[in-house]
Amino acid sequence: KIHCLDGLESLRVLLMGKNRIKQIEGLENLMKIEVLDLHGNQITHVNGLSPLSQLKVLNLAGNQIKNIGASDLKGLISLQEFNLRRNKLKKLLGFGETASLQKLFLSNNELHAVEDMCSLAKAISIREIAVDNNPISLG
């Protein structure tokens, strides 16, 4: 849990890469946060982000995330750039709430089939997707 951030309502950028964070908790009062960098931690699930409606850039690269669930990105209506490189991703389900998403980085994961990424069709503003170094087969 990320403690002691309750009084920082005006915080716009939070860089907490390469720590030992296991869960995304304690960020619910950061209503103006626009950039959140939690790369290189030990996070296994994407949750606790729904109150962050102003979040534009989210970096979760180098964690232990296996999937993006259907409601994991709920509330992230302003998200434009999402870095999920170097995780253990096998399935992506939660992109229905990310209409503003423009860039998505999925390199070096465990995505096996294009079908595992079908929810990306809901990210109607997407301009760039990187899926290199995944064991994807096309049929």
Instruction: Answer whether residue 139 is part of any domain.
Output: no
Mean pLDDT in residue range 31-43:
98
Residue 109's domain comprises 1-130
As a whole number of angstroms, the distance between CA 94 and CA 26 comes to 21
DSSP 54: T
Residue 135 lies in a domain: no
In a domain, residue 50? The reply is yes
Reported pTM: 0.95
Q: Domain for residue 138, yes or no?
A: no
CATH of the domain at 3: 3.80.10.10
Contact (Cβ atoms closer than 8 angstroms) between residue 54 and residue 31: yes
Chain segment 54-73, per-residue pLDDT in tens: 999 999 999 999 999 989 99
Per the structure, how many domains does the chain have?
1
DSSP state of 118: G
Q: CA 88 → CA 10, 31, 94, 110, 136, distances in Å?
A: 33, 29, 16, 6, 14
Report if residue 104 sits inside a domain: yes
Q: Is residue 28 included in any domain, yes or no?
A: yes
| Stretch among 23-37, 75-89, 98-112, 117-131 having the lowest mean pLDDT | 117-131
Give the C-alpha separation, 56 to 54, whole Å: 6
**Is 46 inside a domain boundary?**
yes
